[in-house]
Amino acid sequence: MELEGKIAVVTGAGQGIGRAIALHLAEAGANVAVADINSATVEDTAAAISTLGCESLAIHADMGSVEEIDRMVSEATDAFGRIDIIVNNAGVTRYLYVMDVEEADWDRIHRVNAKGVFFCMQRAAREMISQGDGGRIINIASIAGKGYRGTSNAAYAASKGAVLAMTMIAADQLARHNINVNAICPGVTNTELSLTNMRNRAERTGASLADLERERAARIPIGRANTPEDIADMARFLAGPGARNVTGQAFNVDGGLVMH
């Protein structure tokens, strides 16, 4: 229960990686506000947190809107009085060949993945600074931001590269307030989003889904894709006391796909 008494906010928490992170933080004792654009799934995550004996709050919000980000943080602080941890997990993508990316794709992806992460960091940091006792910001980036060639599309990779840069700059400038800022870079992870991308690729190439999954696993040195819980374990560590002197870092969780 290393996070007992802490207040966490997790975005994109309705399913997949975000849901796993929210539950892991609750298992460590944190009370968790969960946000997602899908009100039904985020309510389900909040209910699951409650069964663990922690307080929860479900917030329906679009992380591409600065106004809704501000409302999300206000609702969390109104309910719990403070924020100690924020995990910026919400993200969007789809499989696109580089020559097929259109302006609407670029804008949709960067609206959530880059702009949304920045303003979530900024808004949460305002609360942490005013509280005066530090905090933890954890950004979910991707090995795509480090040049992984198997990414869903170039616009997505660019948005995650932006997350890595923002993480380092924010870590430097917020260190004076005892706020640690780190990023997690998942590799191939078994989520509904990744399955959708895999299905789209299968349709585009004519390959079977089973063949694509086997090829994918064969490219991973450790031989398996991530589960959402693999990412959640790293988030729990970065939120906890063992990471008190860790900041400005980007941790790959990818089975060895990218080794830097």
Where in the sequence is the domain holding 200, given as residue range(s)?
A: 190-225
For residues 57 and 33, state if they share a domain: yes
- 65 and 162 co-located in one domain: yes
Report helix, strand or coil for 207: coil
Cross-strand bridge partners of residue 193? none
Question: How high is the pLDDT of residue 37?
Answer: 97
Q: Are 189 and 129 in contact (CB under 8 A)?
A: no
Same domain, 102 and 176: yes
Tell me if the pTM is above 0.85: yes
Do 167 and 182 belong together in one domain? Answer: yes
Same domain, 137 and 74: yes
Confidence class for position 39, pLDDT limits 50, 70, 90: very high
What tens digit of pLDDT does each residue of 156-189 get?
999 999 999 999 999 999 999 999 999 999 999 9
Is 258 within the bounds of a domain? Answer: no
Residue 72 near residue 47 (C-beta atoms within 8 A): no
Q: Residues 62, 167: one domain?
A: yes
| Residue located via tokens 């591409």 | 64
Q: Which of 186, 189, 167 is nearest to 86 (CA)?
A: 167
Which residue type, as a one-letter code, is found at position 166?
Answer: M
Q: Is residue 160, in this structure, part of any structural domain at all? A: yes
Least confident of 113-117, 192-196, 203-207: 192-196
For residues 14 and 100, state if they share a domain: yes
- Of 95, 97, 148, 156, the active-site residue reads 156
In a domain, 143, yes or no: yes
Q: Is 156 marked active-site?
A: yes
Assess whether 59 and 166 both reside in one domain: yes
d(CA 260, CA 257): 10
Helix/strand/coil for 189: strand
